[in-house]
Amino acid sequence: MSDAYLSFANSRLGSVITSILGLPQPQPLRRFSRHQPVLDGEVLVGAGPQPGLLEALVASFSAMQAKTLAHDSLPQWTAIANAAGLMSGRWAVGDAPGMRVDALVFDATGLRDVVDAEPLYHYLHDAIRSVRPSGRIVLLGRSADGCVNPGQAVVQQALEGLMRSVAREARRGITVQLLRVAHAAEPMLEGALRFLLSPRSAYVSGQVITLTSPAGWMGAKVDWQQPLAGRTILVTGASRGIGEAIADVLGRDGARLVCLDVPQAQAALDTVATRLDARGVVLDITADHAPAELAALAAEMGGWDGVIHNAGITRDRTIARMRPELWQQVVAVNLQAPARINEALLTAGALKPGARVVCLSSISGIAGNAGQTNYAFSKAGLIGLVRSHSEAFASRSMAINAVAPGFIETAMTAAIPFAIREAGRRMNAMSQGGQTIDVAEAVAWLASPASAGVNGQVLRVCGQSLLGA
């Protein structure tokens, strides 16, 4: 559904009126198109004392062919980067203002005390206005369990509040994230940066993502143009909406697809499957025989490399008015079916090593929502599912994560009454709803080897929604 206010606010007259009235001024977000480089312009690199990721950053930026600049907090970057064949220079020499950049990346992994954060304050203070619209800001830190003393744990946790506040202030389609990199997870940095710095993460902001080093990880050579080439992935609920967008993006990234939907959606499913040269499966995932049927199909196809549990329904009522069948239907489709299917696939050995499962949760499962008790229960349950199963998946060299969309422009949200819909759309740092492609890009990243080191986590695709913040 189109967002008429977004178009109006970006017209000549609309921008004047919205500015005078102090109304939200959503920026049209830049989205990824095939063969586009990760970044068009420069990355301004800064760091606090004892940065732990400079080598990994040099390797990542070299592989991305990104151009970098050194902030005053990291003057040694110029020499390090140039020695690695990365063209680099100083930013804002003397009193000269710094040039505009596409991204800010600050290595805060060495911060051990609150006073160590001063270079970060200066860096953000100096540079935030120099980030171009739809630019990116990534702070790199450590997680509490990687901290050697309480002082370090304090300042590393403090980064979260800083990052979330900068994300609310940045506006102009700029996203801000905190990436916590565990010791030994440095090789995973490139895949995460490629997602977070590129337009693929257009509607992901204010997020904390942790990279760990998966046990027995041997490294994976990723074809960055086709990161899913050679992988077979099941997408449930693929005939329309977010599921269709996921199938499109996974197909674009090289996956061989199995697209599933209910019998009532067969015509639309056939269209999607034909377009993507995918295998169409007509099946109700709540049917008793569904898990065994899917496990048998996966085995027949030589095993699957991923499953996207996207199929979901709403049957909204307040808890007082909720009839038992409405509760049961929602819980059965959204939560029990994914759990049973995972179980069957794992038991049958039908998921290949390296397989990645992604569950579609929701902001409602994090923040709760009046009238959605059954839905919020099921979507919060999915978060429990990914967290509680992550170790078992890791022990098989696999990963399971969730994506929690906020307000996404779909048939479902178009049906919401106007006033509530407008409120839902604007209650986030981007002042607009997300597109189905934004969810699909996040799912595609989590389904690919580019997200190695991410397991048992929930990635919100919500434009930093105020709900559940």
Ligand X SMILES: NC(=O)c1ccc[n+]([C@@H]2O[C@H](COP(=O)([O-])OP(=O)(O)OC[C@H]3O[C@@H](n4cnc5c(N)ncnc54)[C@H](O)[C@@H]3O)[C@@H](O)[C@H]2O)c1
The residues that are catalytic are 375
Q: Is 54 helix (H, G, I), strand (E, B) or coil?
A: helix
Please state the closest distance from residue 178 (CB atom) to ligand X, in A.
23
Is 440 a residue that touches ligand X (CB under 6 A)? no
Please state the closest distance from residue 79 (CB atom) to ligand X, in A.
47
Closer residue to ligand X in complex, CB, 63/313 = 313
Closer residue to ligand X in complex, CB, 67/240 = 240
**Where does this chain touch ligand X (CB under 6 A) — which range of 61-69, 171-179, 239-247, 342-350?**
239-247
Closer residue to ligand X in complex, CB, 214/424 = 424
CA-derived radius of gyration, the chain: 22
What is the Cα–Cα distance from 263 to 9, expressed in whole angstroms?
Answer: 42
Please state the closest distance from residue 371 (CB atom) to ligand X, in A.
14
Site for ligand X in 358-387 (CB under 6 A): 360, 362
Two structure tokens written together for 314: 């709403």
User: Binding string to ligand X for residues 399 to 418, with x set by CB under 6 A, is what?
Assistant: ------x-xx-xxxx-----
Q: Which of 26, 243, 306, 354 binds ligand X (CB under 6 A)?
A: 243
Closer residue to ligand X in complex, CB, 286/457 = 286
Burial status of residue 293 (CB atoms within 10 A of its CB: 0-12, 13-18, 19 or more): middle
Q: Is 89 helix (H, G, I), strand (E, B) or coil?
A: strand
Is 311 a residue that touches ligand X (CB under 6 A)? yes
Q: Which amino acid is located at 445 in the chain?
A: W
User: How crowded is residue 19: how many other Cβ atoms within 10 Å of its Cβ?
Assistant: 11
Is 286 a residue that touches ligand X (CB under 6 A)? yes
Residue 402 C-alpha from the chain's centroid: 9
Is 248 a residue that touches ligand X (CB under 6 A)? no
Q: What are phi and psi of 5, to 5 degrees?
A: -65, -40
What is the Cα–Cα distance from 35 to 33, expressed in whole angstroms?
Answer: 7
Closer residue to ligand X in complex, CB, 88/334 = 334
What is the Cα–Cα distance from 362 to 378, expressed in whole angstroms?
Answer: 9
Two structure tokens written together for 106: 């600050």
Two structure tokens written together for 51: 């940065």
Closer residue to ligand X in complex, CB, 174/360 = 360
Show the CA angle centred on residue 222, arms to residues 217 and 227, nearest 5°.
120
Is 267 a residue that touches ligand X (CB under 6 A)? no
- The CA distances from residue 103 to 57, 222, 451, 459, in Å, are 13, 23, 20, 21
Q: Is 44 helix (H, G, I), strand (E, B) or coil?
A: strand
Is 333 a residue that touches ligand X (CB under 6 A)? yes
Size of interface with ligand X, in residues (CB under 6 A): 27
Site for ligand X in 64-123 (CB under 6 A): none
Please state the closest distance from residue 409 (CB atom) to ligand X, in A.
8
Looking up tokens 């004892």 gives 50
**Where does this chain touch ligand X (CB under 6 A) — which range of 23-31, 88-96, 111-119, 307-315?**
307-315
Is 240 a residue that touches ligand X (CB under 6 A)? yes
DSSP 8-class letter at 298: H
Give contact residues for ligand X (rule: CB under 6 A): 236-237, 239-243, 261-262, 265, 284-286, 310-313, 333, 360, 362, 405, 407-408, 410-413
